[in-house]
């Protein structure tokens, strides 16, 4: 069989899709890429919050599956909305990369008072301001090459990005500091690829199962359950980070005000990923005392 893999056209997305192609080839499955234009890629000058947050890089790719133009959707898991469209299924998560965020340009300690840091993520902005309220945090959009080049230009001292993106692009040398995920809690799904297929396409699901990392899938399911219970997209300053230890998953989460002045963190352990994510989301929501303190509505 030859699987049609739907992917964005960005350099990072193509690297990720070709990685999946390579893994499938190792198991004797041929594949070809189906390049899809997404709203997030077309409107690069509009910030993600204005565009609508999660879904702007995935909807068109999912539609290609639903109408039969492709067999597999290859996503960055952190771009996926927390609810999967009817007719599709999250089938596989290949081996996950480092989930942490990193600074490019300067380390946190190396940023002087009032320094400027660029990021397009409200979560990253809020977490930076929690630790360093003196920083000036400005928006950042564009492909990864454009983001990397922003550090040290136009008054920007550093940018925040995902370590996994740098690893996939072979640019680890750019890392100035890896931000400890115990306090700088990553975005749900960060560092992971998410492969979707149609529910009724058993042959494709079987082919993808060969390259699935069951532990990584369980962790991503727990994190997505957390986000789904919050009813929040990537425009909301919340993050979750799961790891598997034996038969148990440990899930750490954060909810934080947009300006970084209020936050709650918690960690829970359980065997079932979905119930774990739901329980942690409810715990944090209760501890924060409601969305009013955060400055957003859940």
Q: Catalytic annotation on 96?
A: no
* Residue of 157, 234, 252, 285 with catalytic role: 234
φ/ψ of 80, rounded to 5, equals -75, 135
- 246: CB partners within 8 A, 6+ apart: none
Of the listed 8, 97, 123, 285, which one is catalytic?
A: 123
Is residue 123 part of the annotated active site? The answer reads yes
Q: Is 141 a catalytic residue?
A: yes
3-state secondary structure labels for all residues of 168-232: HCCCHHHEEEEECCCCCCCCCCCCCEEEEEECCCHHHHHHHHCCCCHHHHHHHHHHHHHHHHHCC
Q: Is-catalytic flag, 106?
A: no
Residue 62, H or E segment:
helix 59-66
Q: Give the CB-side neighbour count of residue 236, counting CA atoms within 13 A.
A: 24
Q: Which two tokens stand for residue 81?
A: 């909305």
**E strand or H helix at 242, and its extent?**
strand 238-245
Catalytic residue among 78, 106, 198, 285: 78
Residue 252 is among the residues annotated as catalytic for this protein: no
Cβ neighbours around 183 below 10 Å, total: 13
CA distance linking residue 83 with residue 71, whole number of Å = 19
The pair of three-digit structure tokens given for residue 263, joined into one six-digit string? 């936050």
In the residue annotation, 259 being an active-site residue is answered as no
Catalytic residue among 8, 96, 147, 218: 147
* Cα–Cα separations (whole angstroms), residue 144 to 56, 60, 111: 17, 21, 22
| Active-site hit among 8, 23, 106, 124 | 124
Is residue 79 annotated as a catalytic residue, yes or no?
yes
From 8, 23, 71, 79, the catalytic residue = 79
Active-site residues, by number, are 78-79, 123-124, 141, 147, 234
């Amino acid at each position: 069989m030859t699987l049609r893999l739907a992917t964005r056209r960005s350099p990072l997305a193509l690297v990720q899709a070709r990685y999946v192609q390579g893994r499938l080839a190792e198991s004797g499955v041929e594949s070809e890429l189906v390049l899809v234009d997404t709203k997030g890629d077309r409107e690069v000058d509009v910030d993600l919050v204005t565009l609508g947050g999660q879904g702007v890089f995935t909807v068109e790719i999912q539609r290609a599956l639903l109408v039969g133009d492709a067999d597999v959707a290859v996503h960055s898991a952190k771009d996926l909305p927390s609810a999967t469209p009817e007719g599709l299924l999250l089938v596989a998560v290949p081996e996950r990369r480092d989930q942490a965020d990193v600074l490019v340009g300067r380390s946190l300690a190396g940023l002087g008072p009032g320094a400027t840091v660029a990021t397009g993520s409200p979560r990253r902005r809020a977490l930076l301001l929690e630790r360093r309220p003196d920083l000036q945090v400005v928006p950042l959009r564009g492909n990864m090459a454009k983001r990397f080049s922003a550090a040290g230009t136009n008054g920007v001292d550093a940018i925040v990005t995902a370590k996994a993106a740098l690893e996939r692009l072979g640019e680890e040398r750019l890392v100035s500091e890896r931000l400890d995920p115990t306090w700088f809690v990553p975005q749900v799904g960060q560092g992971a690829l998410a492969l979707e297929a149609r529910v009724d396409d058993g042959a494709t699901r079987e082919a993808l199962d060969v390259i699935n990392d069951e532990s990584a899938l369980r962790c991503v399911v727990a994190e997505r359950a957390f986000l789904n219970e919050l009813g929040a997209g990537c425009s909301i300053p919340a993050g979750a980070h799961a790891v598997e230890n034996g038969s148990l998953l440990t899930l750490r989460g954060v909810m934080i005000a947009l300006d970084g002045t209020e936050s709650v963190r918690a960690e829970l352990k359980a065997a079932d990923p979905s119930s774990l994510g739901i329980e942690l989301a409810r715990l944090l929501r209760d501890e924060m005392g409601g969305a009013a303190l955060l400055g957003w509505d859940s």
